[in-house]
Amino acid sequence: MSLAVVGTTGAALAAVPVVTLALTAAAVKPPSVSAKGVYLADGESGSQLFGKAADIKRPMASTTKVMTVAVVLDTPRLNLNRTVTVKQAYRDYVVAQHGSTADLRTGDKLSVRQLFYAALLPSGSDAAYALADTFGSGSTVSARTKSFIAKMNQKAASLGMTKSRFDSFDGLSTAGNNYTTPKDLTKLAAYAVKNATFRTVVKTKETTQTAIASNGRTRTYTWYNSNKLLGSYKGIIGIKTGTATASGPCLVFAATRGDRTLIGTILNDAKRYPDAVKLLDYGFKS
């Protein structure tokens, strides 16, 4: 801590100097967090502000869906209003895999934009499946999802995520080859938040959407964001939660205050929310 003495004018005041305290970056103590892996970066420069086992590969659970949406957003001439019909296969998949769901109903027609909300707020694996099936290439559902996952790995490579691999569109890995590092996942998040549509979706606490039901009538969906930082931390703008037995609780997060944006990743941390707050407070003070 440094002391800055501010001089005064006038004889009567000269004997009573005003002392102000200026907190220097060196005086900010790094937080103690229980996460297995952590990375916090400055959103503008990308420089590291905090790291803990930042390059160790770990499962990432549903934070995978950040990549799913990022790949779709990179589609040339993407039409966010394009209609996608929900298939029974999407619902069957969620039941078989015990995945999180947006409770999409078979035969309903939703827009690509609505599927983003369904995939990122309640972390719907059914919505992620719909996106992979729609934007993959091939004559069968299996071929299309496989090609979509290949696109996810291509995007990871282009972003320099050298220690990441995707083998699923939602993080429900059966082979155990769906992993990343805190540093890699933060790179992805920094890329994704540059997209205005992505930012709008992930900072939404809850949304009500209407879709065309299979019977031609209107169905209303209400989805709530699983990210508990929304509404509880000043400046928070998302991004995505993830929880599974292999990965533990995970969180990709970002916040903006003034002209600064901080982006970070927490992998395997039962205290992910209070630890994220510690990290953000530390980052903004640094």
Report the candidate in 87, 121, 93 with the shortest Cα–Cα distance to residue 205.
Answer: 121
What number of CA atoms fall less than 13 Å from residue 265's CA on the CB side?
Answer: 32
The token duo for 76 is 């040339």
**List 2, 45, 57, 65, catalytic entry:** 65
Using the structure block, give the residue that is written with the tokens 């600064």.
260
Q: Give Dmax over CA atoms of the chain in angstroms.
A: 88
**List 32, 47, 100, 123, catalytic entry:** 123
- Count helices and strands (H / E) in the chain: 9, 13
Is 62 a residue of the active site? yes
The token duo for 34 is 């229980």
Using the structure block, give the residue that is written with the tokens 């990308």.
46
**List 2, 36, 45, 62, catalytic entry:** 62
Report the candidate in 58, 270, 72, 273 with the shortest Cα–Cα distance to residue 185.
Answer: 58
Tell me the H-state helices in 136-249: 141-158, 182-192, 196-202
> In this structure, are residues 185 and 86 in contact, taking their beta carbons and an 8 Å threshold?
no
Is 214 a residue of the active site? no
CA distance 219 to 109: 10
Is 123 a residue of the active site? yes
Those residues whose C-beta lies under 8 Å from the C-beta of residue 32, and which sit 6 or more positions away, are 278
Q: Which residues are catalytic?
A: 62, 65, 123
